[in-house]
Amino acid sequence: MLSNGVKRELTWIISNLLIMLFLAWLTGLWTEGLLLFILFYIGRQLWSIHKFENWMASRKTNAYPPASGYWSELTYLVSKKQRALEKHADLNLYKSEQFKAASMLIPDAIVSLDHHNKIEWFNTVSKSLIGVRRQDIGVKIESVVRQPEFIQYLKSANFSKSLTVNSSYKKARTYEMQVIPYFENHKLLVVRDITELYQLAQIRRDFIANASHELRTPLTVLRGYLEVMIDTPGEHQKTWGVPLEHMETQSLRMQAIIEDLLTLSTIEAESIASEKEQVNVPEMLKQLEQDVKQLGNKNHDFVFDIDESLVIKGYAEPLKSVFTNLVSNAVRYSPDGGEIVVSWLKDNANIVFEVQDSGLGISQEHIPRLTERFYRVDKDRSRVTGGTGLGLAIVKHVLERHGAELHIDSVLGKGSVFRCEFPMDA
């Protein structure tokens, strides 16, 4: 099937050839006539190419150049395609304008960054929240938002979580910053002012910290009297001996809960302040090994597999409480003689602290809730073994502060693995 362009061209050739043949018949100049026709055809083609090129270069697609035959069809097809593209481009422009207009109304700062972290565009709120100005377009975001924590966050290229910081641009404001990678190495920086929310959480944290602190002194006094009463021989021991011991056990539990609540609120309070320091984890774990081996009253079999050279940057005391909590859980939830393997090593992508026990195990439905405060699988057992229900909540908070993650694998009746994965640059 012939295309329209070829059909038009053939029609032109045949009709003009017929005219030429008629003239040649009249004049008898057959060779000259044929030569003239070929020259005329080539000349016409060259002229059409010249016109077509000019038309394409002028971009005035609505003004058709004078053309015939194949060239008129080609001109028509090109201009049709061009009109469709323009329509599409208009639609894209409209959509992008619509998106920009909507993003201007969002109460959070939104800044689009290219693959070099240079600012491409930003919404109105960005000006008041982080101080981005029109002249900053094309400037690296680190030169505008100079907060060290943010620069570190950007460098880490780990954007799975947001960053909470005290604003350096606006006094006494707390921001949540999140980088979202999109489209071929581009990034969107979203900054939200969470001062009010943060203050509310702060009030709650202060309340818990203050209440725990206030309870500490009266409890110490009560425990003091209890100890005296238990240690003093006399008639009262017959009736009160057992209840007094029961009271002492309970007061010890209360003290442990208060201490854990205080630890939790201290960790939370420090969550956006203080510099990290070099932590000698192998040294810390050696001490822990000695402690658990000395204290162990269930004859557990301990294996400590420690990479001696592996130190990280972090917060020493909170990290210590993570290691102690996980190892003490393994001890408390494993029967006599069970094996407990503690390791501190590098795997392909992370630095890993792992505690593996061959104890009770945990059924799957409980695992997602274990890090909630006071969540216990078996309340009675936790109480008997001296648990506060806050150990794993502390672990979770400390790991969050270190950009680390807790993974729990467990099979009921067989044992559990608690694995803390720290980023390589920790």
Binding site for ligand ADP (CB under 6 A): 325, 329-330, 333, 357, 359-360, 362, 370, 375-378, 382, 387-393, 416
123 vs 388 by CB, closer to ligand ADP:
388
Beta bridge partners of 422: 351
148 vs 368 by CB, closer to ligand ADP:
368
192 vs 397 by CB, closer to ligand ADP:
397
191 vs 360 by CB, closer to ligand ADP:
360
126 vs 329 by CB, closer to ligand ADP:
329
Sheet order of strands, 415-423 included: 301-306, 339-346, 350-357, 415-423, 405-411
Shortest distance in whole angstroms from residue 367 CB to ligand ADP:
9
Shortest distance in whole angstroms from residue 220 CB to ligand ADP:
22
Of how many residues is the chain composed? 426
**Cβ count near 181 (within 10 Å):** 12
Shortest distance in whole angstroms from residue 422 CB to ligand ADP:
20
**H helix runs in 114-169, sequence order:** 124-130, 141-144, 148-156
Shortest distance in whole angstroms from residue 264 CB to ligand ADP:
11
Tell me the three state secondary structure of residue 416.
strand
Shortest distance in whole angstroms from residue 283 CB to ligand ADP:
24
Query: Can you tell me the distance from the alpha carbon of 242 to that of 70, in angstroms, rounded to the nearest whole number?
Result: 111
Answer yes or no: are the C-beta atoms of 219 and 255 closer than 8 Å: yes
Shortest distance in whole angstroms from residue 385 CB to ligand ADP:
7
Shortest distance in whole angstroms from residue 146 CB to ligand ADP:
40
The alpha carbon of residue 84 and the mean position of all alpha carbons in its chain are separated, in whole angstroms, by: 40
Helix (H) or strand (E) holding 175: strand 174-182
103 vs 358 by CB, closer to ligand ADP:
358
331 vs 351 by CB, closer to ligand ADP:
331
Of 180, 181, 183, 152, give the one whose Cα is nearest residue 165: 152
Helices and strands, number each (H, E), in the chain: 12, 12
